[in-house]
Amino acid sequence: RMDQALLLVRNELPAEGLCLAALSSSCHQCLYQFLAFVPPSNGSQTKPGMAAVTVDTQHPLTLLLNASVGDRELCKIQYHFGEFGNYSLVVKTPSTSNKTVSCDLVINEGPINSYLPILFAFLVYMGILAILIVGCLLMKIDPVRNWVFKKLNPRETDHLINSELGSPNTTESPSSDPPPHLWSTASRQRLRSLDTFRGLSLIIMVFVNYGGGKYWFFKHESWNDICQVHFPSAPFSRFVFIMGTSISLSLSSMLRWGSSKQKVLRKILWRSFLLILLGILVVNPNYCLGPLSWDNLRIPGVLQRLGFAYLVVAALELLFTRAGAESGTLETRCPALQDILPYWPQWIFIVMLEVIWLCLTFLLPVPGCPRGYLGPGGIGDFGNYPNCTGGAAGYIDRLLLGEKHIYQHPSSSVIYQTTMPYDPEGILGTINTIFMAFLGLQAGKIILFYKDEHKQIMSRFLIWSIVMGIISAILTKCSKEEGFIPINKNLWSISYVTTMSCFAFILLLLIYYLVDVKRLWSGAPFFYPGMNSILVYIGHEIFENYFPFKWKMQDSQSHAEHLTQNLTATTLWVIISYLLYRRKIFWKI
């Protein structure tokens, strides 16, 4: 099968049976898992004891061979098997006089290169991008542009030429279109970088949700995130971050245009209610499996968490917003902190939330588990706490929501073989999601306070990124497993939030510089799904199992076919969002 290899164990020892066990390098402090018993050869060289097992190829494995009698360790081998490879492990004594045991790993049939489809897909998309760039450059040449317009619509040729080159009567007509520079000014009022940032995060999220070609590195990490920036962990957190940025800008705009706080609050409550309702009744249930049933309906979810975080952060911003702060007319003792000090009550509220998270996480007693347990349970921590998945976070969800109403197949179930349900969008992690959105809100305030001061905006983005990075380094000790609070997307740990916000500030800085400052990039194609983010997210969840987003594969064990299907589905949503943008159709909640 995919991500597996065949291992034939050949036991030439005359009187000793073998017990084969394996341990994945991605499984922290785990127990060896029994794979097979290999019988002895009984003195026959022509008929040695044999056993065939499948081994995982996603991560390096440590194979342990023990004698079946006395549990004596014979040999230990570390090896990273290749997908669909065929291997033999020969166990024998080099000579009759020598009692030492040798274990030789032989490659019978070489593995395939399962990463070639990624390279091919990259080249295809780069080819499409090159064609589009060349096409845009050619369209800037007047004869080429006029020829294209003529071929597309001969009757409108004169009108199109005049609209592009200008006609003698255009400037004299009172009903004529505004000059090109006025159109440019109007179109740049909305920061394209924010929609581009949102669209990029969304498209990666859609690709990962569709399967990511079934590659392990496009799946959510089993527990603690590797290298602190695991690919699938980042999109949702960046989406939360940019939601906070949009809250700052949208609330400022509504209040500036004369909307009362009561009216804005009603809109915040209604939008939050709709997001939570859509998540519970539309996104979570799989209607292909039957009608909606309360008995096993999952209550938490992505939209639910977005809705609740939006409610808290938007209400917090609305409650403590101060007249004159954003225009720079409000005096502060420290001008360098003018985007922070006027909002000190918000910071006190966020600090209180983080204190609550820390107290519940590290002080709440969980039956059968040590206080402050942050591990995956299962076979992790040497199998001492098999039912402690997620510690206090999992316990609170099971206690308040019930085991049947949370996620039943957490990512920890594969590597750590956990059996307890655990929801990565649970109650306790929502506190840190609010913190992530609040940091995005801070980015929005920077844009408002330093409007059109590009150097100030970018320098403050950089400062915030450095501060968040330093906090992450302290919390994690720059280690995956050994820090005070590991980076963990399942728990939405505070170190996860500071790390993801560190990279979110950097990414926003780069996109803002390219799109809105230098205008070297229009934001396409990510700008279009960013303008219709809710529609694209809900649509990709609803139509996930329908053609043309999914079809019956000829070989379901092929990364190439899965990657083709997942990239096709993701690209279709980009095309749909582009067509909706061209028709000025935007679904807002």
What CATH number has the domain bearing residue 18? Answer: 2.60.40
Domain end, chosen from 60, 93, 109, is at 109
Do 415 and 287 share a domain, yes or no?
yes
Q: What is the pLDDT of residue 98?
A: 64
Distance from C-alpha of 386 to C-alpha of 383, rounded to nearest angstrom: 6
**Phi, psi angles (nearest 5°) of residue 55:** -125, 155
Section 490-503 average pLDDT: 95
Within a domain: 37: yes
Q: What is the pLDDT of residue 70?
A: 76
Do 220 and 91 share a domain, yes or no?
no
The mean pLDDT of the chain is 87
Do 79 and 215 share a domain, yes or no?
no
Q: What is the pLDDT of residue 525?
A: 94
Within a domain: 330: no
Do 293 and 428 share a domain, yes or no?
yes
Asked if pLDDT for residue 45 goes beyond 90, the answer is no
Quick check: 12 and 91 in contact, CB under 8 A?
yes
117 half-sphere exposure, CB direction, 13 A CA radius: 16
Within a domain: 411: yes
Distances (CA, A) of 489 to 224, 433, 553: 7, 11, 32
Nearest CA-CA partner of 109 in 91, 84, 126: 84
- Low-confidence winner among 32-46, 194-208, 319-333 (lowest mean pLDDT): 319-333
Give the residue, 243 or 168, on which the prediction is more confident: 243
Binned at pLDDT 50, 70 and 90, residue 226 comes out as low
For the entire predicted model, the pTM comes to 0.89
Classify 6 as helix, strand or coil: strand
Do 211 and 105 share a domain, yes or no?
no
Within a domain: 148: no
Within a domain: 161: no
DSSP H helices, 450-515, are 454-476, 494-511
Q: What is the pLDDT of residue 1?
A: 86
Give the residue, 10 or 150, on which the prediction is more confident: 10
Asked if pLDDT for residue 153 goes beyond 70, the answer is no
Q: What is the pLDDT of residue 169?
A: 43
Burial of 375 (0-12, 13-18, 19+ CB in 10 A): buried
DSSP 90-154: EEE-SSTT----EEEEEEEEPPP-TTHHHHHHHHHHHHHHHHHHHHHHHHTSHHHHHHHHHHH-G
Section 506-518 average pLDDT: 96
Q: What is the pLDDT of residue 475?
A: 95
Give the residue, 574 or 43, on which the prediction is more confident: 574
Give the residue, 4 or 13, on which the prediction is more confident: 4
Give the residue, 150 or 471, on which the prediction is more confident: 471
Quick check: 372 and 363 in contact, CB under 8 A?
yes
Binned at pLDDT 50, 70 and 90, residue 459 comes out as very high
Binned at pLDDT 50, 70 and 90, residue 145 comes out as confident
Task: List, for residues 53-99, the tens digit of each pLDDT value.
Answer: 999 999 999 999 998 887 788 899 999 999 999 999 999 887 665 67
Distance from C-alpha of 197 to C-alpha of 200, rounded to nearest angstrom: 5
75 half-sphere exposure, CB direction, 13 A CA radius: 15
Nearest CA-CA partner of 460 in 474, 473, 475, 448: 448
Do 105 and 210 share a domain, yes or no?
no
Q: What is the pLDDT of residue 185?
A: 39
Section 392-420 average pLDDT: 93
Q: What is the pLDDT of residue 49?
A: 85
Do 66 and 200 share a domain, yes or no?
no
Section 191-215 average pLDDT: 94
Quick check: 10 and 48 in contact, CB under 8 A?
yes
Cα–Cα–Cα angle for 300, 414, 386, rounded to 5 degrees: 80
Q: What is the pLDDT of residue 172?
A: 40
54 half-sphere exposure, CB direction, 13 A CA radius: 8
As a whole number of Å, the end-to-end CA separation of the chain is 44
Containing structural domain, residue 309: 193-323+337-583
How many domains would you assign to the chain?
Answer: 2
pLDDT exceeding 90 applies to what percent of the chain?
A: 67
Do 104 and 212 share a domain, yes or no?
no
Distance from C-alpha of 477 to C-alpha of 486, rounded to nearest angstrom: 9
Binned at pLDDT 50, 70 and 90, residue 19 comes out as very high
Within a domain: 588: no
Do 316 and 462 share a domain, yes or no?
yes
Distance from C-alpha of 93 to C-alpha of 86, rounded to nearest angstrom: 23
Q: What is the pLDDT of residue 161?
A: 40
Q: Report the catalytic residues.
A: 220
Quick check: 205 and 303 in contact, CB under 8 A?
no
Q: Which two structure tokens, joined as six digits, stand for 228?
A: 């602190």
Within a domain: 146: no
Q: Helices (H) and strands (E) in the chain — how many of each?
A: 17, 8
Section 104-129 average pLDDT: 94
H/E run at residue 105: strand 102-109
pLDDT exceeding 70 applies to what percent of the chain?
A: 88
Within a domain: 153: no
Do 348 and 440 share a domain, yes or no?
yes
Give the best-scoring range by mean pLDDT among 101-110, 458-467, 471-480: 458-467
Q: What is the pLDDT of residue 426?
A: 95
Domain end, chosen from 109, 136, 157, is at 109
**Phi, psi angles (nearest 5°) of residue 19:** -115, 120
Residue 378 CB contacts under 8 Å (≥ 6 apart), including other chains: 386, 389, 412, 413, 416, 417, 418, 419
- Low-confidence winner among 176-180, 188-192, 322-326, 421-425 (lowest mean pLDDT): 176-180
Q: What is the pLDDT of residue 234?
A: 82
Do 74 and 217 share a domain, yes or no?
no
Give the residue, 153 or 198, on which the prediction is more confident: 198
Domain end, chosen from 109, 135, 159, is at 109
